[in-house]
Structure 1
């Protein structure tokens, strides 16, 4: 006989998670159920990336591996690629309807920053375009043209890369961004 999710998540823990996410207690319990369905048995377990990639909401997302990596950053390189329940909850919270535009933009920037240097340079933009269009969607030359056009339009300081502030400026002109950057739970 297994324990129900509400028995594994005591009231104090639920309160703490509610304070640091965009979820209600009921939604947190639902997210924990999803986590358990993927293979997590307790709050102390972590899931391998391939288990998280089985999440229906991520299966068709072209950034699914980048999303997993961004939400599984650990300081002790051993667990890289594994996601704890708290990381999973953070991921689901950021992609929830309740998350703010600023939070979504911050994580989108990290997802698109393939080399992790804190900027979106031409290579990051080309990788982003490749994820969106697929390897056969656009030629390298076409991806390069699109990346150059993005930099021409959005690189306000002329350093041939986008800072987070420049990225945020682009996002502020895209009213549908918040609606496209979400997962329904």
Structure 2
């Protein structure tokens, strides 16, 4: 173990495993902690927006601004809980809850059609017109039994995306 991992005690590792619903092994938690310490360039115990933007894969993500709102100022315990949705052991339900949080930008527990359109705008850039995005959204909602005026709760959101094949697994490299 490197210097940063030696700061985690066995108790810390067990507590962190419980906190992330055992979706990461202790070795994966140590690897994530070392990465967290690398990102926390100021050693303040949390990661700032600027530090997150220093990760090239994150900076080029079309949803990076939405994700920054969720990630800004996270300590390690919050960081690992958030990342647990990307574990290969995470359930589809875990992944859908994370996606819902990305869409629910104001944190009111509902996703509106304007929230969904903004995500589509972020994802599609100039490849789709506003009319095409609206058409895609209308079709998806209609197929799930909703209208553009619907504000989706987490349960509704799961119904709309429940059949989607979610590829969100990120492997944590361990030494």
What is the TM-score normalised by the length of structure 1?
A: 0.79
| Contact 2:113–2:151 (CA under 8 A) maintained in structure 1 | yes
Could you say which residue in structure 2 is the equivalent of 1:76? Answer: none
Deviation at 1:155, TM superposition (A): 4.0
Q: Which residue of 1 aligns with 2:19?
A: 20
In the other structure, the counterpart of 1:67 is: 67
Q: State how far apart, in whole Å, the 1-side matches of 2:79 and 2:91 are.
A: 18
SS in 2 for 1:83: coil
Shift of 1:56: 4.6
Question: Partner residue of 2:107?
Answer: 116
Quick one: which of 130, 153, 157 aligns to 1:167?
157
Deviation, structure 1 residue 46: 1.0
Unaligned runs of 5+ in 1: 73-80
Equivalents in 2 of 1:91, 1:119: separation in Å? 19
1:152 corresponding residue in structure 2: 142
94, 101, 105: which one pairs with 2:92? 101
Distance, in Å, in 1 between the alignment partners of 2:168 and 2:122 is 15
Larger RCO of the pair (alpha carbons < 8 Å, separation 6+): 2
Give the TM-score normalised by the residue count of structure 2: 0.83
Q: Cα distance, 1:10 vs. partner? A: 0.8
Higher strand share: 1
Q: Is the partner of 2:74 in helix, strand or coil?
A: strand
CA distance in 2, matches of 1:65, 1:5: 29
Aligned alpha-carbon RMSD (Å): 2.3
1:162, 1:181 → 2: CA distance? Answer: 22
CA contact (8 A) 1:115 1:124 kept: no
Look up the match of 2:37.
Answer: 36
Match of 1:75 in 2: none
Alpha-carbon distance between aligned partners in 1 of 2:86 and 2:144, rounded to the nearest angstrom: 25
Equivalent pairs, count: 169
**SS of the residue 1:165 aligns to:** helix
Quote how far apart the aligned CAs of 1:32 are. 0.7
Could you report, residue by residue, the CA deviation over 1:3-31 in whole angstroms, capped at 9, with x for unpaired residues?
71232001111110011221111111100
The aligned residue for residue 184 of structure 1 is 171
Gapped runs of 5+ residues in structure 2? none
Instruction: Measure, in 1, the Cα distance between the counterparts of 2:160 and 2:11.
Output: 40
1:6 paired with 2:5, answer yes
